């Protein structure tokens, strides 16, 4: 790995941890195998070290756009993961609602309906965890 790639990976790891949290990233790294380790490296460098690390947009703004795109494309597990990540990005429930309303108009009501359902389930889990911890 050259220095540029190493720096992009390090930056990506920092951003990925800031957005998704240490437990998620640790789990992804701990379960990586020789088969999918190149993929983990790719997403850490490209998604997190290049796109999410760019100046100009806040983590909140990137979070909102990411949620809309994932919902529009029907990537349910990723929608759930990124709804959880809003605890770290500053995107509010109102932001998520607005993003999913856009999904309904531009990508279809069924995609938005599914995204709202997923978000409500994740919010219930997050609220339950808050109640359990104090």
Residues 41 and 6 in one domain: yes
Q: How far is CA 134 from CA 122, 123, 128, in A?
A: 19, 17, 10
What is the token pair recorded at 31?
A: 């379960």
Mean of all residue pLDDT scores within the chain: 96
Q: What is the pTM of this model?
A: 0.92
Q: How many structural domains is the chain composed of?
A: 2
Residues 49 and 79 in one domain: no
SS3 letters for 70-87?
HHHHCCHHHHHHHHHHHH
Residue 123 and residue 129 in contact, taking contact as beta carbons nearer than 8 Å: no
Which domain, by its residues, includes 45? 1-55
Residues 62 and 51 in one domain: no
pLDDT in tens, 8-64: 999 999 999 999 999 999 999 999 999 999 999 999 999 999 999 999 999 999 999
């Amino acid at each position: 790995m050259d220095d540029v790639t190493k720096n992009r990976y390090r930056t990506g790891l920092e951003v990925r941890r800031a957005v998704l949290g240490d437990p998620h990233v640790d789990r992804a790294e701990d379960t990586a195998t020789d088969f999918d380790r190149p993929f983990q490296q790719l997403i850490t460098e490209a998604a997190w070290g290049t796109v999410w690390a760019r100046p100009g947009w806040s983590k909140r703004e990137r979070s909102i756009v990411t949620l809309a795109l994932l919902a529009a494309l029907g990537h349910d597990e990723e929608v759930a993961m990124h709804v959880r990540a809003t605890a770290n990005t500053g995107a509010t429930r109102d932001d998520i609602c607005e993003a999913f309303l856009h999904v309904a108009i531009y990508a279809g009501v069924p995609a938005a309906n599914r995204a709202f359902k997923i978000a409500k389930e994740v919010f219930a889990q997050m609220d339950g965890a808050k109640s359990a911890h104090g």
